[in-house]
Amino acid sequence: MSVKTELTFTLNGRPVTLEVPVEMTALALLRDGLDLKGTKYACGEGECGACTIEVDGVTVNSCLMMAVDLQGREVMTIEGLQTNNALHPMQQSFVDHGAVQCGFCMPGMIMQANYLVKKNPDLTREEMTRGLEGNVCRCTGYSKVLDAVAAVVGAKQEA
C-alpha cells in the first residue's frame, strides 16, 4: 500500500489541499488526481516538453517533478491561461497561424512560449527557437509555431 501525505498548493489561482501518494509525479497528480488533462504525458523522461507547467512562475517538466514538491507553491497549467473562457493571446495566435495540427504538443509548447515572452517581451526569433528546443512537435515543422510566438511579441511591442 502506498504511503500518502497531505499536500497544499495553489493551482491556477485557487488553493488545493489533498492527500497524495508520496511516489506520485506532479504530472500524474494533475492528470489523474485532478482531471486536468491539458498537460500531456508523452515521453515521461523530460525529453519532449509535452508536460510543461509553470511552478512559481518558471516552466518545468511536470513528469520529472514529484507531486509532494508542489507543497506551498503556485502552479499554473494550460487550463489556467484562459481568462473568462476566452483563449489567452498566445493560444489564439497559435490557432490564427495554423500552428496546431494534432495538438498533442501544444499545451506544453504554449506554456513554454508564454513563459519565454513574459521573461523577455523583446524575444528574437533565434531566442524563441532556442527557448522552445525542449518542446518536441512531430507535426508542424516549427515555423508556424515561431510565427505564432512572433506575432504575440509584435503585438506587445505595438501596444
Chain residues that interact with ligand FES, rule: CB under 6 A: 41-44, 46-51, 61, 63, 100-106, 137-140
**What's the closest the beta carbon of residue 29 comes to ligand FES, in angstroms?**
14
Could you tell me if residue 84 is left (phi over 0), alpha (psi between -120 and 50 degrees) or otherwise beta? left
Report the interhelical angle of 143-158 vs 89-96 (nearest 10°).
130
Q: How far is the CB of 113 from ligand FES (least distance, A)?
A: 13
- For ligand FES, the closer of residues 21 and 46 by Cβ is 46
Contact yes or no for 135/106 (Cβ under 8 A): no
Which CB sits closer to ligand FES, 87 or 156? 87
SS3 content of the chain, % helix, strand, coil (to 5): 40, 20, 40
98 vs 121, which CB is nearer to ligand FES?
Answer: 98
Task: Identify whether the C-beta of residue 68 lies closer than 8 Å to the C-beta of residue 18.
Answer: no
CB of 157 to ligand FES, least distance (A): 27
DSSP state of 88: P
d(CA 69, CA 87) in angstroms, rounded, equals: 29
Closer residue to ligand FES (CB): 50 or 68: 50
CB of 15 to ligand FES, least distance (A): 25
